[in-house]
Structure 1
Amino acid sequence: MNPDEVRAANGGRPIVFRNATVLTMDGQGILENGDVLVVGEDIAEVGRALAVPDGTLEVDATGGILMPGMVDTHRHMWQTALRGLGADWTLSQYFVFYYLSWGKVFRPQDIRAGNLLSAVEALDAGVTTTVDWSHGLQTVEHGEAALDALRTSPGRFVLAYGNLLGAPWEWTNSADFRSFVAREFGSQSHDDLVRLQLAFDVTGDPAFPEKAAFEAARELGLPVTTHAGVWGATTDESIRLMWDGGFMTPTTTYVHASSLGQDSYHRIAASGGSVSVAAESELNAGQGHPPTWQLRKHGIPVSLSMDTSVWMSGDLFSAMRATLSADRGREHVEAHLGGDTVVHNRLRAEEVAHWATIGGAKVLGLDDRIGSITVGKKADLVLLKNDRSPAMYPILHPYGTVVFQAGRGDVHTVLVNGRVVKHEHDLVGVDLSAAKHAVANTVEHARAELGEEAWRESVTPELATTERIPNPYTYTEYEGAETGHRAQQD
């Protein structure tokens, strides 16, 4: 499609993808040389050599993979304004920066700026639905700014409202917050593209002050998403308090869940809850090892997430790759410790691709609308096609290509709700320059507030002391002349 045709498509003309390898994610498997017809907001037909209405615009998907839009169930979008700043942080340093030191310097316009750039980043990488785990909302004005960015971005979002600097049992019951909910989300059904959740954590305080926040969620009919099983922060005691209080429900999402005991996993499974795994974050920050190897054993539904671009890559290709690698790595380590060898992988690329699409949709209660290429569902679609990339040919194992070979640069076309938001690798109807300008203002503000010394310490935190292990193979000075390797004496 040329630019005029893209505008026509966004004006209501049908679109058909031709000759794609279609990953339906609905139990129907892979459709080779498949066509998918989009009429209005919906998927109208799926098949081969489809007859289409006159005037239908065609996208040649030959040599490409058509899949549902990906779903990220936990991303701190506001932190994208400081992308990459914490590349070398530990979780403790992250907590110190945001919770104890500098989270308070973010103004409403800074929240909006981060959300705008994060929304563009997500769409560009084929993530059509994102849970904005927005725990920087110090005031309702911050919440309004976050919501404005989401509603003016052409994606599908869930605003998970949180305030890391406030007590959840207080802000969830404040008059200002209640007024915000009534004003903006008086009926969840009125806006299919932006929904609302509550985001807060349970510290494990025996007094369980968070009970009032859970009661507020129940009263307002809102799901809860919570960081659970985070090493040194939220523990099995947090899960026990939620269980004893009757607040573990099928709509509850447990983020990370990486350092829990078996009883906590049993309780999550028994209550029908789900876990959002952020493998890149868990492997880098130290919440615990990505828990999919445990979740599979307990039958707990899994979705994937990126956590935050202040640290990590910000795309679900990386999430899928890290998740599969972490799970298989754990299997190999366990086998080797027992003197055994893994000869069959339990977790397959197909299952991880499901977690990134229909798995996330199920977690959000949106699987009747998105997450698979099924007639009648909303047309949230991603075409992976890059004729300039040697990594995208040949496609012999489509799920393997998605998980191990593809990247954001291979995202050719993206539709959200039938609207074209990216085509031929270029964003459509997105003002990237405005988003970058807003973030530049935030960076300037944050750097001024921190001061140059604190800014430098954030970028290059102190290195840990490394304890070197004595090497016993250093008893000769001889190095082989041919190999350059140190040789042993008999």
Structure 2
Amino acid sequence: MSPDRAHAPDRPVLLRGGTVVTVDAARRVLPDTDVLVRGTRIAAVGPRLPVPPDAEVVDARGGIVMPGMVDTHRHLWQTAVRGYGADWTLTQYFVWFYQRYGALFRPEDIHAGNLLAAIEAVDAGVTTVVDWSHGLRTTEHAEAAVDALRSVPGRFVLAYGNIHRPPGVWATSPGFRDFARRHFPGSDPLRFQLAFDVTGDPVFPERAAFEVARDLGVPVTTHAGVWGVNGDAGVRLIHEHGFATELTVYVHAASLSDESYRLIAGSGGTISISAESEQSAGQGYPPTRVSRTHGIPVSLSMDTSAWWSGDLFSAMRATLGADRAHEHLRAHARGETITRNALRADQVVEWATRGGARALGRDGEFGSVEVGRAADLVVLKHDLAFPLLHPHGHIVFQAQRDHVHTVLVGGRVAKREHRLVGVDLQAARRAVERTVEHLRRSIGEAAWQEGVDLPV
């Protein structure tokens, strides 16, 4: 079958003979095992399964079959300027997007960034992404964001936000309410969320936005514990006013007190760790150690391609590296040597898959390779990916985007033999080129070049 040919939705798929990294409760690894998909679900997992006569068979021998990865915090719209801010500080990022040029993004520019970002996510085996979409200045921008997400075969959650107006203003506007009820009439956190930050102002101006989220029956995802921006006061206000739930995701949570971590743990909330971001931009140290100390569930995210990579392999590597570096430095300060790593590769793989499903309230629906789960599956296979001795470690330290051989989302083949299915990449390229041209023209060439090394 041609890699570009679409997969009939009612046709079974058999992933044959791979090493299955299940990410089940026991984190089992099953060598030389088949996975059968019927419809949208995993129908069977086992050795040498019978092949249905009409099945599409994917040769996974020598490769890994794993759950699709889940990114719980990605600003998709900013992918239109991918790599532009590689040397920025967090302050420079705020200056560029929040204070100066973020407002120049038209609806078609939001569409272009979302389209490219959604494509690159699926290409990298990230089957579910929370689009932390805080560039939605108007509902026309939001319409463009949704249109782009619906054109790509992945699971995408629109986390609606607007960095240019207070959340208590935009979330209570009639236009927003109308948009939410037209596109997301049911309260499903796998489709729609609200995305905004809590400043810590004791007046709690964000209350109205939380009340809107409660009325719509959807959760709030919020940046918290960002050094110099928001901290313990915001977490305390969320809890004191009764808005903390098990579906509240605290992004970064990297510079908080033990009391704030206790509040998050007590409410069942989760932390989304963006280790590449936290290490580079300075929100604080990735809170992997404190999450273990307080028993807070963790998911992973990559934040923005304006700086960092668009895959979760890099996020897993950065997360594990940051945790181990921190533990070594703590030990050195005591004159000791670490002889056994606390955070292991299998835990980080779980954070990148099942941890994301848990954060979205969908643990048990996807995020693991088990019978009855949604068939969000990835086959990692590459001519140079041998020997395969430690599957979890291989995923974290050896795998790359070009190792993603096959991707299924809800049983639909979205990538086959390293090639995306049903995606017009050239159209996405042209759209992003138009956005870059618009921004350069609007900003002026001198300011555009200055943005690469933005002074503050």
Q: TM-score range by the shorter chain?
A: over 0.9
Q: In structure 1, what is the equivalent of residue 12 of structure 2? A: 14
2:266 paired with 1:273: no
Q: In structure 1, what is the equivalent of residue 406 of structure 2? A: 413
Out of 24, 27, 52, the residue aligned to residue 26 of structure 1 is: 24
Cα distance in 1 for partners of 2:3, 2:180 equals 39
Q: In structure 2, what is the equivalent of residue 160 of structure 1? A: 159
Q: In structure 2, what is the equivalent of residue 433 of structure 1? A: 426
Segment of structure 1 superposing worse, 75-84 or 238-247: 238-247
Query: What is the Cα deviation at residue 167 of structure 1?
Result: 0.9
Query: What is the Cα deviation at residue 370 of structure 1?
Result: 1.1
- Larger RCO, structure (CA 8 Å, separation 6 or more): 2
2:432 paired with 1:442: no
Segment of structure 1 superposing worse, 210-219 or 80-89: 210-219
User: AA paired with 2:434?
Assistant: N
User: AA paired with 2:234?
Assistant: S
2:417 paired with 1:424: yes
2:49 paired with 1:50: yes
Q: Secondary structure at the match of 1:362?
A: helix
Cα distance in 2 for partners of 1:427, 1:2 equals 11
Q: In structure 2, what is the equivalent of residue 452 of structure 1? A: 445
Q: Secondary structure at the match of 1:248?
A: coil
Q: How does 1:1-400 map to 2 (within 5 A)?
A: 1-3=1-3, 6-7=5-6, 9-28=7-26, 29-188=28-187, 195-387=191-383, 389=384, 392-400=385-393
Q: Secondary structure at the match of 1:375?
A: coil
User: AA paired with 2:16?
Assistant: R
**The structure with more radius of gyration:** 1
Segment of structure 1 superposing worse, 46-55 or 355-364: 46-55
Cα distance in 2 for partners of 1:55, 1:144 equals 39
Cα distance in 2 for partners of 1:239, 1:187 equals 28
Query: What is the Cα deviation at residue 179 of structure 1?
Result: 0.5
User: AA paired with 1:284?
Assistant: S
Query: What is the Cα deviation at residue 460 of structure 1?
Result: 2.7
Query: What is the Cα deviation at residue 159 of structure 1?
Result: 0.3
Cα distance in 2 for partners of 1:395, 1:249 equals 41
Out of 395, 403, 415, the residue aligned to residue 396 of structure 2 is: 403
User: AA paired with 2:369?
Assistant: I
Cα distance in 2 for partners of 1:305, 1:244 equals 27
Cα distance in 2 for partners of 1:181, 1:123 equals 25
User: AA paired with 1:15?
Assistant: V
Gaps of 5+ in 1: 465-490
Cα distance in 1 for partners of 2:50, 2:200 equals 59
Cα distance in 1 for partners of 2:152, 2:53 equals 31
| CA separation of 1:429 and 1:188: change in aligned 2, threshold 3 A | farther
User: AA paired with 1:2?
Assistant: S
Segment of structure 1 superposing worse, 214-223 or 399-408: 214-223
Query: What is the Cα deviation at residue 52 of structure 1?
Result: 2.9
Cα distance in 1 for partners of 2:377, 2:426 equals 25
Q: Could you list the per-position Cα deviations for residues 309-353 of structure 1 after superposition, in whole angstroms to 9, with x for gaps in the alignment?
A: 000011100000000000010000111011111111000000000
Query: What is the Cα deviation at residue 11 of structure 1?
Result: 4.1
Q: Secondary structure at the match of 2:353?
A: helix
| CA separation of 1:419 and 1:453: change in aligned 2, threshold 3 A | same
Instruction: Give the share of equivalent positions with the same residue, in percent.
Output: 61
Gaps of 5+ in 2: none
Which structure 1 residue ranges, 4+ long, deviate > 6 Å from structure 2?
Answer: none
Query: What is the Cα deviation at residue 188 of structure 1?
Result: 4.3
Q: In structure 2, what is the equivalent of residue 478 of structure 1? A: none
User: AA paired with 1:56?
Assistant: A
Cα distance in 2 for partners of 1:395, 1:53 equals 29
Q: Secondary structure at the match of 1:396?
A: coil
Cα distance in 1 for partners of 2:331, 2:187 equals 48
Query: What is the Cα deviation at residue 457 of structure 1?
Result: 1.1
Q: Secondary structure at the match of 2:375?
A: coil
Q: Secondary structure at the match of 2:101?
A: helix
User: AA paired with 1:91?
Assistant: L
State the superposition RMSD in angstroms. 1.3
Cα distance in 2 for partners of 1:255, 1:76 equals 12
Query: What is the Cα deviation at residue 10 of structure 1?
Result: 2.8
Q: Secondary structure at the match of 1:10?
A: coil
Q: Secondary structure at the match of 2:20?
A: strand
Cα distance in 2 for partners of 1:310, 1:238 equals 27
